[in-house]
């Protein structure tokens, strides 16, 4: 593994999977780097800031829906379930669900052990008596849950429209993996962002204050820092566009000039106007969402939206 000293004395271990994704992503056409690499410490802070932006409607809309409907979720789910959250601990949404459902246990699953430990400790103290059983794992694959919840029926929780980051094919794989992880009699509460007018969608990913631009560009900062790259970050521009054919927002980093740089000593070139594709955020109409769930092996049983129909929260059963 690579070890690099940073100016402030901090030491970062470059993740070999990050290195492989970046080197491959810059060498292939179109250039693309998976969105999961946005979330280093700075990227996670910037995402938190995005969720407070006036243009970024998903977080506040989904939170309002959950406040309203989690008592109905609790009634439909019945008593004695273990809540299993995929991608641990959104600080505001999780307590809303846990308060309403009063589950027998809470199992947050996350690939990042640091965030997992922080959010688990917070929730354990907010819900005394609730067994909090964190699992550090990649939930894209079926996961063995802790033995303590083996006999309990599960309620999966996948908020935030995180599923929108994946292309439909991968989303279906993920839904199937979740079904397998959660087992017999499981239910799933999932948040999905809806198709809506293009101006609203583009503004949510290209805010006036430039926070999302900073979030996107931070990926290049991370590559320079962790992979010893020489990317001229100020020569790239944030772009957010609506791909109507594929019903998704795409984020790109667009070169402003013909540029040459190295990553771990390897040379790369990009011409003015060419881009690195950094994120997809798929949006689903009501029928699209239900078909996606059914394709992944889940039967939708209840569905809620905000009055403007911006965002949907769907309860499904295995
Ligand atoms: C966390 C994947 C749901 O797609 O809306 C927000 C990430 N990217 N602004 C989204 C994101 C730019 C977000 N998800």
Q: What does each C-alpha distance from 79 to 75, 105, 184, 231 come to in angstroms?
A: 8, 11, 16, 54
Beta bridge partners of 27: none
Strand, coil or helix: 97? helix
Residue nearest to atom 12 of ligand 1 (CA): 205
- How many CB atoms neighbour CB 148 within 10 A? 13
Distance between CA atoms of residues 120 and 114, nearest Å: 10
Residue 282 forms beta bridges with which residues?
A: 248
Pairing of strands 187-193, 154-158: parallel
Residue 154 pLDDT class (50, 70, 90 cuts): very high
- Give the helix/strand (H/E) hosting 158: strand 154-158
C-alpha–C-alpha distance, residues 235 and 8, integer Å? 25
Q: Which of 93, 161, 241 to mutate to test the pocket of ligand 1 (most atoms within 8 A of CB)?
A: 161
Confidence of residue 111 (pLDDT cuts 50, 70, 90): confident
Separation of CA 251 and ligand 1 centre (Å): 10
pLDDT of residue 89: 62
pLDDT at residue 4 is higher than 70 = no
Look at ligand 1, atom 8, and give the residue with the nearest C-alpha.
Answer: 205
- CB count in 10 Å sphere of residue 261: 19
pTM for this predicted structure: 0.93
Pocket of ligand 1 (CB under 6 A): 50, 58, 160-162, 164-165, 205, 212, 215, 279, 281
Measured distance CA(148)–CA(46) in Å, rounded: 36
- pLDDT for position 90: 61
| Residue 8 banded pLDDT, cuts 50, 70, 90 | very low
Does residue 250 contact residue 243 with C-beta atoms inside 8 Å? Answer: yes
Question: Interface pTM (ipTM) of the complex?
Answer: 0.99
Closest by CA position to 145, among listed 203, 104, 197 = 104
Per-residue confidence at 2, pLDDT binned at 50, 70, 90?
very low
Q: Is residue 12 pLDDT above 80, yes or no? A: no
Q: Are strands 299-305 and 311-317 parallel, antiparallel or unpaired?
A: antiparallel
Report the pLDDT value the prediction gives residue 218, as an integer from 0 to 100. 98
* Cβ-Cβ contacts under 8 Å for 61 (sequence gap 6 or more): 306, 310, 311
Residue with tokens 């949510």: 204
Q: Which residue's CA is minimally distant from atom 1 of ligand 1?
A: 162
Distance between CA atoms of 47 and 242, rounded to whole angstroms?
A: 20
């Amino acid at each position: 593994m690579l070890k690099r000293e940073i100016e402030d004395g901090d030491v970062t271990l470059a993740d070999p999977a990050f290195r492989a994704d970046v080197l491959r992503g810059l060498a292939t056409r179109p250039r693309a780097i998976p969105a999961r690499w946005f979330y280093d410490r700075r990227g996670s802070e910037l995402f938190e800031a995005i969720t407070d932006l006036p243009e970024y409607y998903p977080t506040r809309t989904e939170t309002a829906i959950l406040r309203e409907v989690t008592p109905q979720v609790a009634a439909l789910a019945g008593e004695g379930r273990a809540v299993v959250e995929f991608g641990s601990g959104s600080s505001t949404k999780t307590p809303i669900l846990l308060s309403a459902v009063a589950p027998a246990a809470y199992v947050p699953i996350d690939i990042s052990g640091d965030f997992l430990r922080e959010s688990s400790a917070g929730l354990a103290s907010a819900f005394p008596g609730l067994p909090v059983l964190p699992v550090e794992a990649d939930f894209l694959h079926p996961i063995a849950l802790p033995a303590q919840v083996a006999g309990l029926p599960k309620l999966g929780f996948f908020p935030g429209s995180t599923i929108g980051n994946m292309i439909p094919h991968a989303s279906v794989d993920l839904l199937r993996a979740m079904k397998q992880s959660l087992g017999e009699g499981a239910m799933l509460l999932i948040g999905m962002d809806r198709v809506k007018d293009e101006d609203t969608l583009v503004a949510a990913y290209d805010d006036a204050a430039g926070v999302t631009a900073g979030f996107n560009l931070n990926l290049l900062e991370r590559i320079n820092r962790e992979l010893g790259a020489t990317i001229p970050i100020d020569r790239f521009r944030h772009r957010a566009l609506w791909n109507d054919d594929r019903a998704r927002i795409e984020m790109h980093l667009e070169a402003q000039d013909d540029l040459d740089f190295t990553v771990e000593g390897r040379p790369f070139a990009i011409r003015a106007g060419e881009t690195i594709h950094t994120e997809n955020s798929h949006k689903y109409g009501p029928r699209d969402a239900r078909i996606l769930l059914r394709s992944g092996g889940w039967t939708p049983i209840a569905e809620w939206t905000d009055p403007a129909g911006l965002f949907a929260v769907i309860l499904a059963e295995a």
